[in-house]
Structure 1
Amino acid sequence: MVSKTTKLGGAASDVVIGKTAHGLMMMTFVVVSRLIGGKLKLFARWKPTPVPDEDCFASIKAGIDALPPGAKMFLNSGEFYGQGETTANLELVARFFEKYPSYADKVFLSVKGGNKLHSLQPDGSPENLHRSVDYILEKLRGTKSLDLFECARYDPTYTLEDSLKVLQGLVQEGKFKYIGLSEVGAATVRRAHKAAPEVAAVEIEVSPWSYTQETKDVIATCAELGISVVAYSPLGRGFLTGQIKKPEDFEEGDFRRNLSRFQEENLKRNFAIVDALTEIAKRKGITSAQLSIAWVSARGPHVVPLPGSSNAKRTLENIAGGDVELSSEDLSEIDRVLSSHVVKGGRYVDAVPDEKLYLWG
């Protein structure tokens, strides 16, 4: 059993969760697109081969069972995680709670939405936000309440304040309990807090190879305002585990083959980071994955690492990483590694700025 827990922020400050969350995205197909010439174009599937329900269920259940009494598992899903497929993420979640109804009260369920139906393009219109939330609830089939809803990306056609006002109304209607933000900067977090102090969490990418000044600013701002940070991809999309050494290590059709950091020349250079972190992990008697999760967790008591796994053993390894204590010497050594090895390649595709990519995790 793991021991570390934390409380969420904002209006959810009385909710106790495990210090390490569980991302469900890699359990289902995801169609991934990018914006080219003003149009969204398909270029890969996130997860080419579906994972059997029994494996997914065992993974989810193992993480929940490892938590201390009174703590909930923060599960993260998305309206578009497998959109249009029979193995859609939300339908998978519904099937899990249909099989294990007693686990519904042990889970804090967060879902990203706010896109056009059957699209990865954000649509912040009041009509679409209502549609998105209702669609999520429809797919959950009453098996689990929607605890937190977040727009995956905000539509610049509508102001942040207007979008938050719509979401506040949906909370008042009882559609979901808490509001979250996704892929936003520190200034946006501050604006959101002013308009809706009840905002509970901000989801951004945080890992030893995704730790920019903007990331640091978001973490600091959230600490100041009492908002949780849900840190997705703490394992660098699997790279920091040390298992990915060449593009061919990914299954054919895996979208990561298209990302700049995973191109062969960049991959070779970036592996120096993995080698250095692996040596530190070995000396501590933990895995490279656990070291990365512990490092992300050490960004603050309000920072919740969000690794994903469809393997029960790996899930237990991941959440145990959140219990690992890193000494000041450990942290200083990791800092030296990160400052001496510059990551090659952007988070997504160098030719297209991050803000133009309709990709979320």
Structure 2
Amino acid sequence: MSEPPGSAVTPVRPPEPVPLTRDQPPTSAEEPGPTGPPLAERVLPLRHPWRWLATAVVLVLAAQVVHGLVTNPFYQWDRFAYWFLRPTILDGLLITLEVTALSAVLGLLGGVVLALGRLSRSPVLRAVSWTYIWLLRSTPLIVLLLFLYNFSALYQTLSLGVPFGPAFFTFDESRLATDMAIAVIGLSLNEAAYAAEVVRAGLLSVDQGQHEAAAALGLPRRFQFLRIVLPQALRAIVPGYVNQLIGLVKSTSLVFYVSLLDLFGSVQSLGSTYPGDIVPLLLVATVWYVLLTSLVSIAQFYVERRSSRGALRTLPPTPLQKLRASVRDLRARARKEAAL
């Protein structure tokens, strides 16, 4: 049936959907079909049963170790407390710190010279540096220390003068080679060989384009090394050399064999005098070495954090910053739970 001319057609609006409330279930007409997505989906957390099992096993083993350390009378913790701050132990600790500091500085300087020698264009410098590093890394440290300790048997006097000519000054080797000097020289020579490879690896880690860009700007080679190459190389040098420094702290225990009473030497001497306190004395040395290496590790974190400026968008947080962030998160969770 056709509409008469001039009549207007009124559009029919579809019925507006009734909004669903939390307490009103959807009708059968509004329920989605079997292929449609559900109205609300619950996100189930991913389970990690093996991770929880491994955590439980580790905690049980750690608790057993701590319980054994505390309750076993063989450790004699009362004698440990007696010896820990005795003047003899502290004097040996001071010698250990002195030997470590001198050997670390001299070893690093020697390592830089050897690394530059290995990277030199001179074949003589490269050959001498490579031979030194190869020989010193192949020789045990205790052998080197004992060799230097008996050096006076090979050369009783040392002299300065014209090579293969007359000597201007002559020194008695036995007076110059004190126990402290032998320990520092031996550790420095050994440390330089290992530090050289750490420094060389750090220098080689700098992108070649940095060298080319610095050379294209016409910068002097000294300025290129100090201002462009070295700051970038430190990011790779610091972790490796600090690892060597931790090894150096523990290697100072060998200077006892050249008659220098450092921390370990003092413990050994006291252990021979008080044989019943050998175990607590060894624990004293262990705890002091752990404290020293922990301080070095803390210094390593802050040096790495400082040297990474410019390479990272965000610097890694310090332990104090992590603690503050954890406290803020706990407070935020407490407020959220209280509001619910």
Question: Which TM-score band (shorter chain)?
Answer: under 0.3
TM-score (norm 2): 0.18
Richer in helix (by share): 2
When you count strand as a share of all residues, which structure comes out higher?
1
Structure with larger Rg:
2
> Taking structure 1 as the reference length, what is the TM-score of the superposition?
0.17
